[in-house]
Structures are given as structure tokens and as C-alpha cells.
Amino acid sequence: MDNKHIFTEKLRSSGLRPTKQRIEICKLLFNRKDTFHFSISDLKNISTKKISLATIYNTIHAFTRKGYLKEISINSDKTYFDTNTSDHHHFFDENKKKLIDLDDNNVGKIKIKKTLPGKKIKSVEILVRITNDN
Amino acid sequence: MDNKHIFTEKLRSSGLRPTKQRIEICKLLFNRKDTFHFSISDLKNISTKKISLATIYNTIHAFTRKGYLKEISINSDKTYFDTNTSDHHHFFDENKKKLIDLDDNNVGKIKIKKTLPGKKIKSVEILVRITNDN
DNA sequence: ATCATAATTTATAATGATTCTAATATAGTG
DNA sequence: CACTATATTAGAATCATTATAAATTATGAT
Ligand SMILES: [Mn+2]
Ligand SMILES: [Mn+2]
Ligand SMILES: [Zn+2]
Ligand SMILES: [Zn+2]
């Protein structure tokens, strides 16, 4: 896994210096097959290297500004982020407090019939709350 | 406006004692034609009577538990509540930071094709982010 | 009305996520 | 190497929310 070089390039090309903290965070976030939904504390917990909390916040915010992460709207005490930055929807498992992707093709076409003068639609997102069946 | 009596009954029938604080909050929330979307600080600000912050939190949570209010999911530093407790969707005006109701009949039928074993759907909510057109 | 009791209100403290600060360390450039 | 802009860091500050525990109030029974 020599993604280090790839991440270094990615960071440089975004005007972010490739520090060891940022590269470590890149590995944690982007070295995976599936979409990753996480909170800051999740990220801190899975990191073996010790990165200060301030740096984690700084880095995640920088990545969000650069468009490498997306902030997800769920009413929670914590903010969630998503490595899938495309327009897509979510299940939110209220028991596990976990987000699960819901691709466009898993959702019928959404038609918003109401319009508001002087306003344009920026995004349309569905949140499907789920709980244990029993 | 002798809603006081109506609110007193409503509170009693919910097993909540009709205190002057709760009746005042009822008036602020339910004595209006339109749906009201608010945060705790919004509510504190529009109240002329002095009700302690703890009581405002307690009351809003009690009303939510009783089904008279609905918590709304937007990623914000504050929690928002809604006097419209029916299943419905929202516009979120990113410029004014205001929620606007979007009735079911303003949205085409939503079909969630993906299912998760052992899980049941609790709610399906759409958030349509809007910004100024220009 | 008086009492008894549980429910409610309240001021205040505690909590916890996030942001800020300002000192130290590091990356990029020549 | 030396210079400077950037980045990291520990710790403090902020702010919404929740917890605590004492004082007040609503209600039902005498
Ligand atoms: Mn939130
Ligand atoms: Mn929050
Ligand atoms: Zn996602
Ligand atoms: Zn609403």
C-alpha cells in the first residue's frame, strides 16, 4: 500500500501541505472500499497514531472545504461526515447510530412540485430513520 | 382569546399539570395560523414572561414526547422543533436559515427499494436545501 | 380550607462537542 | 542551512444541552 504518495499529491494539489497527520487521516478515510460515515470521535478512536483533537478537527474541516468530505444532516449531538461526496441518501440506524448509503437507484424519482420565487434548489436529500424490527 | 381553557384541558388530558409556564408556552407555540419552526433560544426570545431555561427545555421535551411537537433534522448547532407533527418534508433556506414546510402532496411518492434485515422504517424525510436564485 | 404528596420550576452546576488561542514545530523555498 | 508561512498542539473558552437539588405549586383527600 504505497498510497502515501498518492495522498501526498492529492494534498499538494489542493494547496495543503502533506503532513504526517494529514496523510494518516487520508489513509483512515480513503483507504477503504466502502463509503465511510464517521464522527470526529469515531475517527479519533480508530487512529493508532496520536493526533491532537484540534488537528483532527482542522483536517476534517479542510477536507470538507476542499470537497473531499461531505457533512451529513442528522439531528445528533455529534456532526457526521461522509467520504461519499456525491448526491445521495441515507438510512440512519437509530440503534447503532450508523449511517448507511442509499443510492439514487434505491429510491424512486423525487419530484418537488412546490417552488419558491427567487430561490433555487441546491440539494434534495432523504433521511430514512430505521430501528430494530422486534 | 380564551385558549387558556383549551390548553389547560389539553395538558390535563396528557397527564401534564397545567402550570402558568406551560400555558404560556402553549400560547406561544399553538396560537398561530401557520406551522412554527423554532429553536429553544427562538422560543425564549419571543416570550415576554420570564420562564427559566430549564423549564423551557423540560416543557418542549414533554410536548415532544406527547406528540405535540416534532424534532427536525438539520445540521445545526441548535435543535429545531416543529408544531407540524405530521409526516412532511422541508425546504431549508440556507440564506435565511429558515425551515419551510413541504407537504406530502408537494412531493411525488417516495419508494425506498432497499430493505435491511431486522430493521423497520421509522420515518422518511426529505430536506431540500435552497439558496437565493441570483 | 388545610394537609400531604407528587409534580414542577428554578438557579446553578456539570457535560460534551466544537472552536479558539497562542506557543511550538514543521514544510517548502532558496 | 536559514527564512517564513503553515500546521500541530495542549489547553482554555464557548455554547447548547442535561443534571442536580432545593423551593414552589398543583391536586386530591380530609
Ligand atoms: Mn445536529
Ligand atoms: Mn448539535
Ligand atoms: Zn453516505
Ligand atoms: Zn415543518
Mean pLDDT per 10-residue segment, chain A (134 residues): 86 96 97 95 95 98 97 89 94 87 88 92 91 85
The residue written with cell numbers 440512519 in the block is: A92
Overall pTM > 0.75:
yes
Give B26-42 pLDDT, tens digit per residue.
Answer: 999 999 999 999 999 99
Of the CA atoms within 13 Å of residue B105, those in its CB half-sphere come to: 0
Residues A12 and A73 in one domain: yes
Domain count, chain A: 2
Residues B9 and B74 in one domain: yes
Residues A9 and A62 in one domain: yes
Contact A127 B91 (CB under 8 A): no
Contact A110 B126 (CB under 8 A): yes
Minimum-distance CB partner of B71 among A75, A79, A91:
A75
Residue type, B117: P
Residues B44 and B108 in one domain: no
Provide the CA B40 distance to its chain's centre, in angstroms.
Answer: 11
Residues whose beta carbons lie less than 5 angstroms from ion ligand 3: A 82, 84, 101
- Which is nearest to A96 in space by CA: A132, A133, A127? A132
Q: Which nucleotides of C are covered by protein (CB under 7 A)?
A: 7-12, 16-21, 26-28
Q: For position A27, which CATH number holds?
A: 1.10.10.10
Domain that holds residue B115: 89-130
Q: For nucleotide D26, give the residue with the nearest CA to its C1'.
A: B17
Residues A19 and A65 in one domain: yes
Task: Count the neighbouring beta carbons within 10 Å of the beta carbon of residue B125.
Answer: 19
Residues A70 and A121 in one domain: no
Residues A61 and A93 in one domain: no
